[in-house]
Amino acid sequence: MKFWLACLFSLLAWSAQAEQKQTLGPWDVHYLAFNATFLTPEVARSYGIERSRFTGIVNLSVLRSDDQSAQQVNVTGTARNLLGQQRTLRFQQVRDGAAIYYFAPLTIRNEELWRFDIQLQQGNEQQRLRFEHTYYID
């Protein structure tokens, strides 16, 4: 199943906060935070994701900036809310042909702002992705 395409098609109605990108060293890192309810039941089931109003997803892909080839990297990270509660993100890798995606679930509440600090490593190359996202429960 095409995880990324399924995510994008599931999110067509929700275009207010689209995919974002940061260039970090030699990589273009595309990232997206969204509610698990935007996934189809089939996609959620196939990747073991709880499709709940209270589950958020962080999804990213790492491309080499010069040729846009997908990169296999080690991804670790944390999320911290405004109350100082910290969660370790457990990323899963998904390969879809030549594409590689990483996603991690997160338990969320309505109007909860999370600050993400994600470390990417490939050999000696290390980069840090930082961003924040407010989740809304529908």
Q: What tens digit of pLDDT does each residue of 40-77 get?
A: 999 899 889 999 999 999 999 999 999 999 999 999 99
Residue that is written with structure tokens 């809310």 in the block? 81
Q: Is 21 helix (H, G, I), strand (E, B) or coil?
A: strand
Q: Are residues 120 and 62 in contact, defined by beta-carbon separation less than 8 angstroms? A: yes
Model pLDDT, residue 8 = 45
Q: What pTM, to 2 d.p., does this model score?
A: 0.85
